């Protein structure tokens, strides 16, 4: 290679890559408002960002991978847990976790009701950011993986409805983050073992206030309209009687998916 070609390579390469750099930068800036849903960045969301900073949540948690790896990543937490549960949890985490059972505790930070609403709004906004599918897998924190983390398992073993339902339960539906299928293990919601027998008894029970007449309808109702009847025997609702189970499944699940989930729930002994 002569000196002249080396020089041409150098200048040519510099120009081409500088141009690429400038174009990509412009492209990023052009799409960022759309990707971050800037129009949803309300005053409340901004105040929630300030709460996140003020209480140093980032010293334990990550958002989009940013932060400390002591406690679970919270990027999708509003989608997984629902706002009603998060408000109760942030008010007093020890109601839902025990140091003996879980080996760790989130401190009660003394947030006011307003701060809780703000930080939940902030987390909800973060969860909606279009990150082009990043991270590809849920971020798991050593030793403190959230229970039943969605995405960890979730591949259907066969094309039977109950198998598809199980994959949804453990995976994208995030049901397993709140429900154990082992009898007696209460997470955020009740254990779902023995549900078939329970749903038969429930629709005949005079204390049952929901709209379902058959056990299958009861299971469907439990998924699509959790507050229609709050399962007794635990701290499963806000003081106003709103179930801590997300009420968003009627929007996010297709009717076939609900049928698959019901088929799976009926296999739990």
Give the residues lining the site for ligand HEC (CB under 6 A): 55-57, 59-61, 70-72, 74, 77, 81-82, 85-86, 89-90, 93, 96-97, 102, 104-107, 109, 119, 146, 169, 173-175, 177-179, 188-190, 192, 195, 198, 219, 222-223, 226, 230-231, 236, 243-246, 249, 261, 265
Shortest approach of ligand HEC to residue 259 CB, angstroms? 12
CA 212 to CA 218: how far, in whole Å? 5
The answer to whether the beta carbons of residues 90 and 81 sit under 8 Å apart is: no
CA 173 to CA 167: how far, in whole Å? 8
Shortest approach of ligand HEC to residue 73 CB, angstroms? 10
CA 120 to CA 49: how far, in whole Å? 10
User: Taken in order 214, 220, 223, 228, is the CA torsion positive or negative?
Assistant: negative
- Omega cis (within 30) before 135: yes
User: Taken in order 67, 127, 180, 89, is the CA torsion positive or negative?
Assistant: positive
Using the minimum distance from each CB to ligand HEC, give the nearer residue, 92 or 130: 92
Closest Cα partner for 210 from 221, 199, 219, 198?
A: 221
Q: Give the length of the chain.
A: 269
Shortest approach of ligand HEC to residue 240 CB, angstroms? 13
Shortest approach of ligand HEC to residue 27 CB, angstroms? 33
Cα distances from 256 to residues 141, 165, 260, 262, in angstroms, run 34, 10, 6, 10
Using the minimum distance from each CB to ligand HEC, give the nearer residue, 29 or 101: 101
Shortest approach of ligand HEC to residue 255 CB, angstroms? 13
Using the minimum distance from each CB to ligand HEC, give the nearer residue, 7 or 54: 54
Using the minimum distance from each CB to ligand HEC, give the nearer residue, 39 or 240: 240
Give 34: exposed, middle or buried? Use CB within 10 Å, 0-12, 13-18, 19+: exposed
CA 229 to CA 219: how far, in whole Å? 11
CA 196 to CA 187: how far, in whole Å? 20
Shortest approach of ligand HEC to residue 25 CB, angstroms? 33
Using the minimum distance from each CB to ligand HEC, give the nearer residue, 36 or 248: 248
Using the minimum distance from each CB to ligand HEC, give the nearer residue, 56 or 112: 56
Shortest approach of ligand HEC to residue 20 CB, angstroms? 39
Using the minimum distance from each CB to ligand HEC, give the nearer residue, 24 or 68: 68
The answer to whether the beta carbons of residues 164 and 260 sit under 8 Å apart is: yes
């Amino acid at each position: 290679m002569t000196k002249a070609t080396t020089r041409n390579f150098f200048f040519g390469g510099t120009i081409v890559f500088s141009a690429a750099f400038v174009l990509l930068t412009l492209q990023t800036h052009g799409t960022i408002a759309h990707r971050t849903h800037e129009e949803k960045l309300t005053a409340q969301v901004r105040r929630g960002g300030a709460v996140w900073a003020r209480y140093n949540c980032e010293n334990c948690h990550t958002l989009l991978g940013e932060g400390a790896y002591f406690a679970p990543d919270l990027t999708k937490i509003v989608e997984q847990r629902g706002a009603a549960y998060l408000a109760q949890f942030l008010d007093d985490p020890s109601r839902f976790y025990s140091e003996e059972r879980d080996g760790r505790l989130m401190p009660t930070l003394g947030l006011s009701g307003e701060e809780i609403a703000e930080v939940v709004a902030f987390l909800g906004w973060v969860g909606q950011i279009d990150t082009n599918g990043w991270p590809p897998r849920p971020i798991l924190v050593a030793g403190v993986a959230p229970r039943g983390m969605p995405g960890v398992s979730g591949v259907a073993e066969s094309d039977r409805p109950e198998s598809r339902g199980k994959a949804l339960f453990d995976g994208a539906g995030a049901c397993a983050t709140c429900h154990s299928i082992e009898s007696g293990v209460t997470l955020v919601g009740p254990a779902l073992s023995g549900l078939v027998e329970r749903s038969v008894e429930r629709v005949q029970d005079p204390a049952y206030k929901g709209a379902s007449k058959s056990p299958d309808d009861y299971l469907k109702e439990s998924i699509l309209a959790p507050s229609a009847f709050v399962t007794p025997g635990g701290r499963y609702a806000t003081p106003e009687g709103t179930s801590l189970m997300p009420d968003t499944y009627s929007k996010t699940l297709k009717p076939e998916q609900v049928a698959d989930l019901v088929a799976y729930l009926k296999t739990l002994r």
